[in-house]
Structure 1
Amino acid sequence: MPRATFIDHAGESRTVEGAEGENLMRVAVLNDVPGIDADCGGECACATCHVFVDDAWLDKCGEPTELETSMLSFAATAQPNSRLACQIILTSALDGIVVETPVAQH
Protein backbone atom coordinates (compact mmCIF):
# COMPACT_ATOMS: atom_id res chain seq x y z
CA MET A 1 0.00 0.00 0.00
CA PRO A 2 1.39 3.41 -0.92
CA ARG A 3 2.42 5.69 1.93
CA ALA A 4 1.88 9.44 2.15
CA THR A 5 3.35 11.89 4.61
CA PHE A 6 1.35 14.96 5.62
CA ILE A 7 3.23 17.80 7.29
CA ASP A 8 1.24 20.46 9.15
CA HIS A 9 2.06 24.15 9.53
CA ALA A 10 4.00 23.47 12.75
CA GLY A 11 6.23 20.90 11.06
CA GLU A 12 4.56 17.86 12.64
CA SER A 13 4.40 14.96 10.21
CA ARG A 14 2.11 11.99 9.95
CA THR A 15 2.68 9.09 7.56
CA VAL A 16 -0.33 7.03 6.56
CA GLU A 17 -1.03 4.21 4.12
CA GLY A 18 -3.76 3.99 1.53
CA ALA A 19 -4.93 1.60 -1.12
CA GLU A 20 -3.79 2.09 -4.70
CA GLY A 21 -6.51 3.90 -6.64
CA GLU A 22 -7.75 5.82 -3.59
CA ASN A 23 -7.42 9.58 -3.60
CA LEU A 24 -5.10 11.29 -1.15
CA MET A 25 -7.96 13.22 0.50
CA ARG A 26 -9.86 10.05 1.36
CA VAL A 27 -6.73 8.46 2.81
CA ALA A 28 -6.20 11.56 4.96
CA VAL A 29 -9.80 11.56 6.20
CA LEU A 30 -9.73 7.84 7.01
CA ASN A 31 -6.57 8.43 9.07
CA ASP A 32 -7.77 11.61 10.83
CA VAL A 33 -5.05 13.79 9.32
CA PRO A 34 -5.49 17.35 10.64
CA GLY A 35 -5.91 20.10 8.08
CA ILE A 36 -7.86 18.05 5.53
CA ASP A 37 -11.49 19.03 6.00
CA ALA A 38 -12.86 17.63 2.72
CA ASP A 39 -16.15 19.52 3.04
CA CYS A 40 -17.36 18.43 -0.42
CA GLY A 41 -16.45 14.77 0.10
CA GLY A 42 -13.92 14.70 -2.72
CA GLU A 43 -15.99 16.22 -5.50
CA CYS A 44 -13.43 18.94 -6.37
CA ALA A 45 -15.90 21.59 -5.25
CA CYS A 46 -14.50 23.27 -2.15
CA ALA A 47 -10.66 23.39 -1.89
CA THR A 48 -10.69 22.31 1.79
CA CYS A 49 -8.27 19.49 0.95
CA HIS A 50 -5.69 21.92 -0.43
CA VAL A 51 -2.11 20.70 -0.03
CA PHE A 52 1.34 21.82 -1.11
CA VAL A 53 3.05 18.94 -2.90
CA ASP A 54 6.76 18.59 -2.20
CA ASP A 55 8.65 19.55 -5.36
CA ALA A 56 10.20 16.08 -5.66
CA TRP A 57 6.69 14.63 -6.13
CA LEU A 58 4.94 17.32 -8.13
CA ASP A 59 5.62 15.93 -11.63
CA LYS A 60 4.54 12.44 -10.55
CA CYS A 61 1.09 13.77 -9.57
CA GLY A 62 0.24 14.83 -13.11
CA GLU A 63 -1.24 18.14 -14.20
CA PRO A 64 -4.29 19.61 -12.45
CA THR A 65 -7.49 19.71 -14.45
CA GLU A 66 -9.15 22.99 -15.37
CA LEU A 67 -11.75 22.40 -12.64
CA GLU A 68 -9.06 21.80 -10.01
CA THR A 69 -7.20 24.93 -11.11
CA SER A 70 -10.43 26.88 -10.79
CA MET A 71 -11.06 25.54 -7.27
CA LEU A 72 -7.50 26.36 -6.23
CA SER A 73 -8.13 29.98 -7.18
CA PHE A 74 -10.37 30.12 -4.08
CA ALA A 75 -7.55 28.97 -1.80
CA ALA A 76 -6.07 31.99 -0.02
CA THR A 77 -2.56 30.59 0.02
CA ALA A 78 -2.32 28.85 -3.37
CA GLN A 79 1.20 28.38 -4.71
CA PRO A 80 2.63 26.78 -7.86
CA ASN A 81 2.84 23.43 -6.02
CA SER A 82 -0.76 23.59 -4.76
CA ARG A 83 -3.06 20.67 -5.48
CA LEU A 84 -6.34 19.35 -4.15
CA ALA A 85 -5.74 16.07 -2.34
CA CYS A 86 -9.01 14.71 -3.75
CA GLN A 87 -7.50 14.90 -7.23
CA ILE A 88 -4.30 13.00 -6.43
CA ILE A 89 -4.79 9.27 -6.94
CA LEU A 90 -2.42 7.02 -5.01
CA THR A 91 -0.33 4.66 -7.11
CA SER A 92 2.86 2.74 -6.47
CA ALA A 93 4.68 5.60 -8.24
CA LEU A 94 3.46 7.93 -5.47
CA ASP A 95 4.58 5.67 -2.62
CA GLY A 96 6.27 8.04 -0.17
CA ILE A 97 4.67 11.26 -1.43
CA VAL A 98 5.10 14.24 0.89
CA VAL A 99 2.56 17.07 1.14
CA GLU A 100 2.11 20.00 3.47
CA THR A 101 -1.22 21.32 4.70
CA PRO A 102 -1.72 25.11 4.72
CA VAL A 103 -1.94 26.94 8.04
CA ALA A 104 -5.35 28.32 6.98
CA GLN A 105 -6.81 24.79 7.17
CA HIS A 106 -5.86 24.20 10.81
Structure 2
Amino acid sequence: MDVGASAWLVILLALVLANLPFFNERLFSVVALKGAAGQAPVKPFFVRLLELTVLFFIVGGIGRALEGRIGTVFPQTWEFYAISACMFIVLAFPGFVVRYLKKKH
Protein backbone atom coordinates (compact mmCIF):
# COMPACT_ATOMS: atom_id res chain seq x y z
CA MET A 1 0.00 0.00 0.00
CA ASP A 2 1.45 3.36 -0.95
CA VAL A 3 1.66 6.44 1.26
CA GLY A 4 -1.38 8.22 -0.16
CA ALA A 5 -3.68 5.22 0.09
CA SER A 6 -2.68 4.46 3.68
CA ALA A 7 -3.15 8.11 4.68
CA TRP A 8 -6.67 8.15 3.21
CA LEU A 9 -7.40 4.81 4.86
CA VAL A 10 -6.48 6.20 8.28
CA ILE A 11 -8.58 9.35 7.72
CA LEU A 12 -11.60 7.34 6.58
CA LEU A 13 -11.19 4.90 9.47
CA ALA A 14 -10.96 7.81 11.92
CA LEU A 15 -14.14 9.34 10.49
CA VAL A 16 -16.08 6.09 10.83
CA LEU A 17 -14.77 5.16 14.28
CA ALA A 18 -15.18 8.68 15.67
CA ASN A 19 -18.91 8.58 14.87
CA LEU A 20 -19.45 4.97 15.94
CA PRO A 21 -20.22 5.67 19.64
CA PHE A 22 -23.03 8.07 18.73
CA PHE A 23 -24.89 5.91 16.22
CA ASN A 24 -25.65 2.85 18.36
CA GLU A 25 -26.53 1.85 21.89
CA ARG A 26 -24.07 -1.04 22.13
CA LEU A 27 -20.63 -0.81 23.68
CA PHE A 28 -18.13 -0.82 20.77
CA SER A 29 -21.07 -1.95 18.58
CA VAL A 30 -20.71 -5.44 20.03
CA VAL A 31 -21.69 -5.64 23.71
CA ALA A 32 -25.37 -5.05 24.47
CA LEU A 33 -26.02 -2.88 27.50
CA LYS A 34 -28.83 -3.65 29.95
CA GLY A 35 -31.61 -1.12 30.22
CA ALA A 36 -34.10 -0.49 32.98
CA ALA A 37 -36.98 -2.93 33.30
CA GLY A 38 -39.13 -2.70 30.19
CA GLN A 39 -37.07 0.08 28.60
CA ALA A 40 -34.55 0.12 25.79
CA PRO A 41 -30.94 0.54 26.95
CA VAL A 42 -29.49 4.03 26.70
CA LYS A 43 -25.73 4.45 26.67
CA PRO A 44 -24.68 7.31 29.01
CA PHE A 45 -22.58 10.18 27.67
CA PHE A 46 -19.50 9.32 29.75
CA VAL A 47 -19.54 5.80 28.28
CA ARG A 48 -19.62 7.35 24.79
CA LEU A 49 -16.60 9.52 25.70
CA LEU A 50 -14.72 6.53 27.10
CA GLU A 51 -15.51 4.58 23.94
CA LEU A 52 -14.36 7.56 21.83
CA THR A 53 -11.05 7.63 23.72
CA VAL A 54 -10.42 3.92 23.21
CA LEU A 55 -11.28 4.20 19.51
CA PHE A 56 -8.86 7.13 19.19
CA PHE A 57 -6.03 4.92 20.44
CA ILE A 58 -7.11 2.10 18.10
CA VAL A 59 -6.96 4.43 15.09
CA GLY A 60 -3.59 5.73 16.29
CA GLY A 61 -2.25 2.20 16.57
CA ILE A 62 -3.46 1.31 13.08
CA GLY A 63 -1.89 4.50 11.72
CA ARG A 64 1.39 3.72 13.43
CA ALA A 65 1.34 0.17 12.04
CA LEU A 66 0.71 1.43 8.52
CA GLU A 67 3.51 3.96 8.91
CA GLY A 68 5.81 1.16 10.02
CA ARG A 69 4.97 -0.88 6.91
CA ILE A 70 5.83 2.07 4.66
CA GLY A 71 9.16 2.86 6.27
CA THR A 72 10.56 4.42 9.41
CA VAL A 73 8.14 5.33 12.19
CA PHE A 74 8.86 8.93 13.10
CA PRO A 75 8.95 9.86 16.79
CA GLN A 76 6.10 12.17 17.83
CA THR A 77 5.86 14.71 20.64
CA TRP A 78 2.86 15.73 22.71
CA GLU A 79 1.84 18.36 20.15
CA PHE A 80 1.12 15.68 17.56
CA TYR A 81 -1.10 13.75 19.94
CA ALA A 82 -2.94 16.89 21.08
CA ILE A 83 -3.67 17.91 17.49
CA SER A 84 -4.72 14.41 16.44
CA ALA A 85 -7.05 14.12 19.47
CA CYS A 86 -8.64 17.45 18.57
CA MET A 87 -9.03 16.32 14.98
CA PHE A 88 -10.65 13.07 16.14
CA ILE A 89 -13.13 15.06 18.23
CA VAL A 90 -13.93 17.28 15.24
CA LEU A 91 -14.52 14.18 13.12
CA ALA A 92 -16.97 12.96 15.80
CA PHE A 93 -19.05 16.14 15.55
CA PRO A 94 -21.60 14.83 12.98
CA GLY A 95 -22.47 11.89 15.22
CA PHE A 96 -22.75 14.18 18.25
CA VAL A 97 -25.10 16.50 16.36
CA VAL A 98 -27.33 13.66 15.22
CA ARG A 99 -27.45 12.12 18.71
CA TYR A 100 -27.83 15.20 20.93
CA LEU A 101 -28.64 18.34 18.92
CA LYS A 102 -31.09 17.14 16.26
CA LYS A 103 -34.72 17.71 17.24
CA LYS A 104 -36.82 14.60 17.51
CA HIS A 105 -40.28 14.92 16.01
Relative to the length of structure 2, the TM-score reads: 0.24
Greater C-alpha radius of gyration = 2
Relative to the length of structure 1, the TM-score reads: 0.24
* Structure with the higher helix share, 1 or 2: 2
* Structure with the higher strand share, 1 or 2: 1
